[in-house]
Amino acid sequence: DQQVKQNSPSLSVQEGRISILNCDYTNSMFDYFLWYKKYPAEGPTFLISISSIKDKNEDGRFTVFLNKSAKHLSLHIVPSQPGDSAVYFCAATWGNEKLTFGTGTRLTIIP
């Protein structure tokens, strides 16, 4: 039962353009969502998060949008840079309990 889904396993974006990564969830109890970036053979690093009481959170080049009615969130990276090439995981939690991760999207930024 995959409660958090990232339906695009991979995405290629031209450098300087916007990268949009999508994530859907099924559990309406989730109240906190996070995005992590991961390089091969390394642990995930935290990027940005959003609480369910908000619909947008912005941090530099990264913006996360949350649509609770659609149970959908997205991560926007603009402008995309070569160093952004990595696997991105969205994760969800509720009640400060364990994280449930999506399956990841491999982002490749084309110079």
Partner 1 sequence: GAVVSQHPSWVICKSGTSVKIECRSLDFQATTMFWYRQFPKQSLMLMATSNEGSKATYEQGVEKDKFLINHASLTLSTLTVTSAHPEDSSFYICSARTFGTGRQYFGPGTRLTVT
Q: Which residues bind partner 1 (CB under 8 A)?
A: 32, 34, 36, 41-46, 49, 89, 93, 96, 98-104
- Minimum CB separation of residue 79 from partner 1 in Å reads 26
Nearer to partner 1, 52 or 74 (CB): 52
Kindly list the strands in the beta sheet with 19-25, ordered across the sheet, starting from the edge strand earlier in the chain: 4-5, 19-25, 72-77, 62-67, 56-59
- Minimum CB separation of residue 103 from partner 1 in Å reads 5
- Minimum CB separation of residue 38 from partner 1 in Å reads 9
Nearer to partner 1, 2 or 14 (CB): 2
Distance CA 50, CA 37 (A): 15
The first and second tokens of residue 29, run together, are 């109890």
